[in-house]
Structure 1
Amino acid sequence: MDGLDDIVEEFLVESHENLDQLDTDLVALEQEPDSRERLSSIFRTIHTIKGTSGFLAFHRLEEVTHVGENMLSRLRDGALALTPTRTSVLLQMVDTVRSLLASIEATGGEGSVDVSAVVAAISAAMEDAPVPAAPVPAEQPAAEEPALEEAPVAAAPEAAQSLVPAPAPAVEVPSPVSETRVPASRREPVLEAPEHAEADTPAADAAGGQARRAVADSTIRVDVDLLDELMLLVGELVLTRNQIVQYVGRSNDTDLVRASQRLNLIASELQEGVMKTRMQPIDHIWSKLPRVVRDLGLQCGKSVRLEMEGRDTELDKTLLEAVKDPLTHLVRNSVDHGIEAPEDRRAAGKPTEGVLTLRAKHESGQVVVEVADDGAGIDPAKVGAKAVERGLITADALARTSPADVLQMIFLPGFSTAAAVTNVSGRGVGMDVVKTNIESIGGTIEVESVPGEGTVCRLRIPLTLAIVPALTVECAGDRYAIPQISLQELVSLDAEKAATAVEEVGGAPVYRLRGELLPLVRLTDVLGLTSDRHDGHVVIAVLRSEGRRFGLVVDRVINTEEIVVKAVGGQLKAIGLYSGATVLGDGTVALILDVQALARRALRAETNERQESRLAALSAAATDTERQRMLLAAIGGGRRVAIPLDTVTRLEQVRTESVERVGNREVVQYRGAILPIVRLDRHLGAYGESDHEVLEVIVYSDHGRSVAIVVEEILDIVDGEAAVRSDIDDMGLLGSAVLGDKVTELLDVRAAILAADPAFYSAPVTPAGVPASLLEA
């Protein structure tokens, strides 16, 4: 319902369901007046409506259900006997409640529905007094609004007392629910009432006059087991779809290809729809945490404020249940260990009230949940000392371990830095269970901390476990699947390049990817197999796990497809390299690789020697400009510039007509963001031809910001190794060099970027993707 709060909407849905059941129960109760079980059920239903209406400040609804609850309580306790009159006034109460709910649904409030008559009727029925007849105005026009609101509750008590037909004016009174409650002698006239009622209820759309579905009819309750079964069937459909699409791809029958494409589309939409039915906002588990934080804060003598961001982020119901306990444990841990006592915070110059922040968002096909506190943080030195004390690591190994890896030791079994054991923190177990539980659903957990400033625990959870997109690779003749949630990019090296590009640093294979050394793991080595590829080509799948990247070397990449995840047996699970299995489109079975387990092999603690070698290699890569590959571009007037290839994110073509202005700067809309433009011809004083319909654009991106550098023509990519260089420069240049037998100017890329976006290296990007500098233009 538009404009209704989610709590009110849920209250309306449940109340309508309960009222329908009350109608049945009250009528059946007349046949079994001594049924305590049915009376108790009716009492609980009315009690629930009364309690919620009081909480939501619907006072008239609370008043009428309160007096009804009093009668039901006395009936249940045997203090009153059920008579037809009492049944009638209870049914009248149900009708009045229904009218109030209709008004709440239409306007958000109780409107002008009068409850005094029905309250008086129920009170009189409890005292065995004659039920008062509500006065009916002598000449009340049917078209007046007050009559439409007040008459339904005025006519019903009369119906409960007498079978005499009401005076003629009452025939016009709308009562959309009363036709099944009144005696037969009055039923005929009242049947006309719903036509009048619908004209003033939300069922008619004011704009178009079309009927609008009521809130009670807009939802349906479905058993979770049925949804699970439906998801399994959709999974099997996806498998069959994959097989048909692959088979038809080898066919020349046009009609068959068209039919398979249609099947592919329908199956994808059905899969998406079924998955949506299982999605629930993370607020379902967050809603219980404010109470947890409050109680723990009082218990620990701390003042803690809980803030939540992204409560509407949706997650599969199964995963939501799986993440509930780990999340609760992290919150308890932050309050107990993370946030300091008020006197300690005051001494550290902090507010005495600690802040615990929960954040959730969708990112790259997964849900990222953060538990952040502004407490004392975690000191890696203390963590390392505790790990050595407990025998979890040797002192020598600790000295060779980076601070970031030391922090991950808090997830080791039996680890705790608590000075004292409390009934909140337990006895040093829990964080290892959190990690195990998160990894069991295909997720990861990372911890970041700054001593004195706070700690952030970051969970990365897949949206669903049932059907996931994956990359299929081959190794030693067998097929394996890699979930695309962990895949960043693919790199293919021919034999010549692989011989020089893959190096060894500190005894471990690495590949320099755009200036960054990437640790490599050969899948054949992990599996103890022999590669069947002997041509020297190297295929690297660049994967990300626990905040760090590594490269997985495979024999071949087959394709990408959506896979249905099947559980593996205990023997395969014990190996620790597989998270499941699937059936591919060609009918073969493929094991799904556990990226976290592979990452642990690649990203073991580096030795001092390896760290020094890595830093030296990075330094050499930064200073060795002789071997840097360059992009050559013409800027007009016969001038050419060379741009380091590692500063080029991508090359694009943009139509001139799509260039717009913000103040005195040119911009272009690109992939949902606004990119500032710098034209190199103007920047360097060349001023070439400007009547091109299509602009050649070099896009450079870094830390979420991008700029577009416009050139006249992209010429070539060359190796600057043997270039004859000169320090002769000019504004916007670093010098010049002979590249391709021609003198080429070496572009000062930083100056060009700052010409497009002066705040590129300092100011943040706004949420809308607009550089902050443009907002000031």
Structure 2
Amino acid sequence: MEGLDEIVGEFLVESHENLDQLDRDLVELERAPGSRELLGSIFRTIHTIKGTSGFLAFSQLEAITHVGENLLAKLRDGHLTMTPGTTDVLLAMVDRVRDLLAAIEADGTEGKVEVADVVQRVSEALEGRESSPAQPAASVEEAADPVVVPTAEVPEDLPVVVPEVTPVAVLPDVPAEVPAEAPAERRSVADASIRVDVDLLDSLMRQVGELVLTRNQIVRQTGHGEDLELTRSAQRLDQIATELQEGVMKTRMQPIDHLWAKLPRVVRDLGAACGKQVELVMVGRETELDRSLLESVKDPLTHLVRNAVDHGLESPERRTAAGKPTEGRLTLRAYHQSGQVVVEVCDDGGGIDAAAVAAKAVDKGLRTAAQVALMSQAELLQLIFTPGFSTAAAVTNVSGRGVGMDVVKTNIEAIGGTIEIESVLGRGTTCRLRIPLTLAIVPALVVECAGDTYAIGQVSLLELVALDAERAARAIEDVNGVPVHRLRGVLLPLVRLTDVLGVESTRDDGHVLIAVLQSEGRRFGLVIDRVLSTEDVVVKPLSARIKQLGAYSGATILGDGRVALILDVQGIARRALSSETVEGELDRHDAESTRSEQERWLVAGIGGGRRVALPLEVVTRLETFPRDAIELVGHREVVQYRGEVLPLLRLDHHLSVGSWRDSEPENLVVVIYQSGDRGVAIVVEEIVDIVDEAGRQSDISDRGLTGSVRIRDRVVEVLDVRDAVLAADPGFYDDIAPVGAGSWDAVPALEAM
């Protein structure tokens, strides 16, 4: 349906299906002319086409179906009797409707298709007269030596053939060109789409899930084998299974407009009830979401819209007094971001008064005055989602009872999503939902704790932090009985997975591995024993008893055949982070004020015992790529990364270090720097450390370096990142401000693992 309006395209698909059914019903009706069931079905079909064509302003189509509807009404009511001649007239009408639909599909208009002749024949049938077949269009234009057949010479039982009305010039002038244009192989909208039962799609998705599990097992088993052909076959299977998985997921996707369709009426009625004028703007209607999630999002989204109209937008009088238009604006926006669907509900109302929220929280006993005094605005706004919380001055039929926002949050988190709220007093509020694309197959981090294997959905994972024994002893503190880690100057409360599960850790070397997770707008660190891998896992439901534990959201089968439980990040956060933890987190302001402004460095080995330091602010991610993933484009090496092709730079060559490529490992360690839609992959030998403290820098003027810095009693060279990026991609900075201009993307990086 490319090039056509979506509504018109759906109308064409449905109409073609109805016309095919009409052909069958009309032929059957000729055999059973008294069948009221068939007549009723045919009448309803023509009536549907007529009504929609009138709505879409297709006048010719409306005219011909209107007279056809009148004829069918008389046949249905018994005022006329079905005869072969009547069947011919109705079939001629169906054929002419097809011509009109073809013209609409071609250019969006009814073109030059004439309907007067068929309308006349149907009108004659309405009067009980047998009409004659319409003459070919060429006779109307007085083609050479036309042959006129008197009506009386046409037998009554001769089938009426109604030719397609085609511009006359095409017939005599270009008869030889018709076969040449025919093989355009352009499918009609009716042929380009089919209807598939939803249960069949669900079954297909389950089978693809099993295929993904089997794929994971085969790839893992062949990953370390010596059979090259088997390894290549496994890689090919991996690619095919991935493409099949993506294809099946697309069949389950539906535009979010299906969810938004009823909201204009909701906004209109609610605005009238509240005495407010509201303009509803929808952006991103075409954004697609798994159909299984649409129903889960429906009620939370409706509640947010109602809340925005009732609480967010001011009355026309207050808006006028504030210098705003009397008509408030409510914007719904949907888009894809980082493998999620983001849905925003934005109003241009009065915003949320954080001070009023704090006062209400203290009044209701939800927080103490000391606690709210130390809370940031973002944390105060999160209190809105507390059960029983409401700032409404009075209870109305719409809101004010403190029920709803907590349910919104619970329902969104139940499907693995999150909700954020931003507000500027006097300017408006934005509620932002982050929803996974699908719940069937999700990317996960596979970890180990006490010898058992667990999976953590990557949608909740922000980064990984690894601390050796010495650093862990210094960096992990105790605040009000809660272990915390100072991560980039902010206190990160820690939750040990062993404590949550009631087991003993198998790691006794003092090293601490932290998975930094986000739940309910707050970050916390989950302490685990080891990171095993990342996999696309197929989510299997749990029994009600296991789910009630609050620690698990599902289960999956890993590539090695083992069953792993999927951790419920939200459930763990609610159980482990007590209100005392909030007090510990709020001390971070004092910690930040006493913490010196020190630059953080990523230290990497580049071969020959040589190390370089990179400012951590220019590191987007740390990745590993298999050696055979490196490709050549001309004389440059490139790697495919998240749908983009990144140029590759080997620091050993760039800095003229003795190359270690003769014995390079199967997997290459790569530092990714990205800005906008451009990026560079920098290959290093190893990631040594990430440090917060460094000695004074010194300047040097050597190729590829900007100086040196003392890190833990060792002098380390500082890489000239700009020079390295330009060596990999000379045009990188054409549209990007230079280093030091404050335009580098500061993206949270993976700490050394």
- TM-score normalised by the chain length of structure 2: 0.78
- Do the aligned partners of 1:576 and 1:594 also contact (CA within 8 Å) in 2? yes
Q: Say if 1:377 and 1:725 are closer, same or farther in 2 by CA, change over 3 A.
A: closer
Structure with the greater relative contact order (CA < 8 A, sep ≥ 6): 1 or 2? 2
SS of match in other structure, 2:131: coil
For 1:757, the equivalent position in structure 2 comes to 737
Structure 2 counterpart of 1:472, from 446, 456, 462: 446
Q: Say if 1:163 and 1:308 are closer, same or farther in 2 by CA, change over 3 A.
A: same
Q: Say if 1:673 and 1:175 are closer, same or farther in 2 by CA, change over 3 A.
A: closer
SS of match in other structure, 1:24: helix
**How far apart are the structure 2 equivalents of 1:621 and 1:232?**
52
| Counterpart code for 1:99 | D
**1:649 and 2:629 aligned:** no
**How far apart are the structure 1 equivalents of 2:440 and 2:176?**
45
**How far apart are the structure 2 equivalents of 1:604 and 1:205?**
76
**1:26 and 2:6 aligned:** no
1:463 CA displacement: 0.6
1:152-192 per-position Cα deviation (integer Å, ceiling 9, x unaligned):
xx99x9999745699xxx99x5589xxxxxxxxxxxxxxxx
Segment of structure 1 superposing worse, 69-78 or 331-340: 69-78
Q: Say if 1:416 and 1:44 are closer, same or farther in 2 by CA, change over 3 A.
A: farther
| Counterpart code for 1:285 | L
SS of match in other structure, 2:548: helix
**How far apart are the structure 2 equivalents of 1:50 and 1:114?**
17
**How far apart are the structure 2 equivalents of 1:198 and 1:39?**
44
| Counterpart code for 1:8 | V
1:53-88 per-position Cα deviation (integer Å, ceiling 9, x unaligned):
111111000000011111112222233332322222
Q: Say if 1:612 and 1:535 are closer, same or farther in 2 by CA, change over 3 A.
A: same
Q: Say if 1:624 and 1:47 are closer, same or farther in 2 by CA, change over 3 A.
A: closer
**How far apart are the structure 1 equivalents of 2:393 and 2:598?**
51
**How far apart are the structure 2 equivalents of 1:163 and 1:35?**
22
For 2:125, the equivalent position in structure 1 comes to 125
Q: Say if 1:514 and 1:658 are closer, same or farther in 2 by CA, change over 3 A.
A: farther
1:421-472 per-position Cα deviation (integer Å, ceiling 9, x unaligned):
3333374422222222212211122222223221111111111111111111
- Do the aligned partners of 1:310 and 1:360 also contact (CA within 8 Å) in 2? yes
- Do the aligned partners of 1:402 and 1:606 also contact (CA within 8 Å) in 2? no
1:503 CA displacement: 3.0
1:14 CA displacement: 0.5
For 2:10, the equivalent position in structure 1 comes to 10
Structure 1 counterpart of 2:220, from 238, 246, 254: 246
**How far apart are the structure 1 equivalents of 2:138 and 2:319?**
74
Segment of structure 1 superposing worse, 532-541 or 423-432: 423-432
**1:448 and 2:443 aligned:** no
| Counterpart code for 2:111 | G
- Do the aligned partners of 1:400 and 1:605 also contact (CA within 8 Å) in 2? no
Structure 1 counterpart of 2:198, from 224, 235, 244: 224
For 1:83, the equivalent position in structure 2 comes to 83
Count of matched residue pairs: 688
SS of match in other structure, 1:479: strand
1:253 CA displacement: 3.8
**How far apart are the structure 1 equivalents of 2:152 and 2:232?**
68
- Do the aligned partners of 1:400 and 1:608 also contact (CA within 8 Å) in 2? no
**How far apart are the structure 1 equivalents of 2:274 and 2:433?**
26
For 1:107, the equivalent position in structure 2 comes to 107
- TM-score normalised by the chain length of structure 1: 0.76
1:43 CA displacement: 1.2
Q: Say if 1:44 and 1:608 are closer, same or farther in 2 by CA, change over 3 A.
A: closer
1:529 CA displacement: 1.8
**How far apart are the structure 1 equivalents of 2:721 and 2:538?**
50
**1:296 and 2:276 aligned:** no
Segment of structure 1 superposing worse, 514-523 or 10-19: 514-523
For 1:614, the equivalent position in structure 2 comes to 588
Structure 2 counterpart of 1:565, from 531, 539, 552: 539
1:743-767 per-position Cα deviation (integer Å, ceiling 9, x unaligned):
9999999xxx9x98279868899xx
- Do the aligned partners of 2:352 and 2:423 also contact (CA within 8 Å) in 1? yes
For 1:582, the equivalent position in structure 2 comes to 556
SS of match in other structure, 1:114: coil
**1:274 and 2:237 aligned:** no
SS of match in other structure, 1:575: coil
1:309 CA displacement: 1.8
**How far apart are the structure 2 equivalents of 1:107 and 1:580?**
50
| Counterpart code for 2:532 | I
| Counterpart code for 1:55 | F
Q: CA RMSD in A?
A: 4.8
Structure 1 counterpart of 2:236, from 262, 270, 279: 262
1:299 CA displacement: 2.4
1:140 CA displacement: 7.7
- Do the aligned partners of 1:400 and 1:606 also contact (CA within 8 Å) in 2? no
Q: Say if 1:308 and 1:198 are closer, same or farther in 2 by CA, change over 3 A.
A: farther
| Counterpart code for 1:404 | A
- Do the aligned partners of 2:613 and 2:717 also contact (CA within 8 Å) in 1? no
Q: Say if 1:572 and 1:205 are closer, same or farther in 2 by CA, change over 3 A.
A: farther
SS of match in other structure, 2:595: helix
Alignment of 1:346-495 (within 5 A): 346-390=320-364, 392-393=366-367, 398-399=372-373, 401-425=375-399, 427-495=401-469
Structure 1 counterpart of 2:495, from 518, 521, 538: 521
1:292-341 per-position Cα deviation (integer Å, ceiling 9, x unaligned):
22222222221111112222211111111221222122112211221111
**How far apart are the structure 2 equivalents of 1:219 and 1:109?**
21
- Do the aligned partners of 2:489 and 2:591 also contact (CA within 8 Å) in 1? no
For 1:679, the equivalent position in structure 2 comes to none
For 1:775, the equivalent position in structure 2 comes to none
Q: Say if 1:226 and 1:385 are closer, same or farther in 2 by CA, change over 3 A.
A: same
Q: Say if 1:229 and 1:744 are closer, same or farther in 2 by CA, change over 3 A.
A: closer
Q: Say if 1:13 and 1:706 are closer, same or farther in 2 by CA, change over 3 A.
A: closer
Segment of structure 1 superposing worse, 44-53 or 522-531: 522-531
1:95 CA displacement: 0.9
- Do the aligned partners of 2:493 and 2:585 also contact (CA within 8 Å) in 1? no
- Do the aligned partners of 2:621 and 2:671 also contact (CA within 8 Å) in 1? yes
SS of match in other structure, 1:533: coil
**1:62 and 2:32 aligned:** no
**How far apart are the structure 1 equivalents of 2:132 and 2:552?**
76
1:106 CA displacement: 1.8
Q: Percent identity?
A: 60
**How far apart are the structure 1 equivalents of 2:369 and 2:612?**
51
| Counterpart code for 2:447 | V
For 1:503, the equivalent position in structure 2 comes to 477
1:650 CA displacement: 6.4
**How far apart are the structure 2 equivalents of 1:346 and 1:71?**
58
Q: Say if 1:216 and 1:586 are closer, same or farther in 2 by CA, change over 3 A.
A: same
Segment of structure 1 superposing worse, 597-606 or 547-556: 597-606
1:611-662 per-position Cα deviation (integer Å, ceiling 9, x unaligned):
574223323433468xx769799xxxxxxx9988444426999x9x999xxx
SS of match in other structure, 1:216: coil
- Do the aligned partners of 1:630 and 1:720 also contact (CA within 8 Å) in 2? no
| Counterpart code for 1:649 | V
- Do the aligned partners of 2:446 and 2:454 also contact (CA within 8 Å) in 1? yes
**How far apart are the structure 2 equivalents of 1:262 and 1:57?**
51
For 2:505, the equivalent position in structure 1 comes to 531
Alignment of 1:164-179 (within 5 A): none
1:387 CA displacement: 4.2
For 1:39, the equivalent position in structure 2 comes to 39
- Do the aligned partners of 1:375 and 1:455 also contact (CA within 8 Å) in 2? yes
Q: Say if 1:129 and 1:608 are closer, same or farther in 2 by CA, change over 3 A.
A: closer
Segment of structure 1 superposing worse, 108-117 or 615-624: 615-624
**How far apart are the structure 2 equivalents of 1:506 and 1:747?**
43
Segment of structure 1 superposing worse, 74-83 or 469-478: 74-83
SS of match in other structure, 1:100: helix
Alignment of 1:136-175 (within 5 A): 162-163=156-157
| Counterpart code for 2:345 | V
- Do the aligned partners of 1:495 and 1:538 also contact (CA within 8 Å) in 2? yes
Q: Say if 1:102 and 1:343 are closer, same or farther in 2 by CA, change over 3 A.
A: same
**How far apart are the structure 2 equivalents of 1:454 and 1:13?**
42
**How far apart are the structure 2 equivalents of 1:567 and 1:620?**
48
- Do the aligned partners of 1:133 and 1:158 also contact (CA within 8 Å) in 2? no
1:725 CA displacement: 8.3
1:96 CA displacement: 0.8
| Counterpart code for 1:116 | A
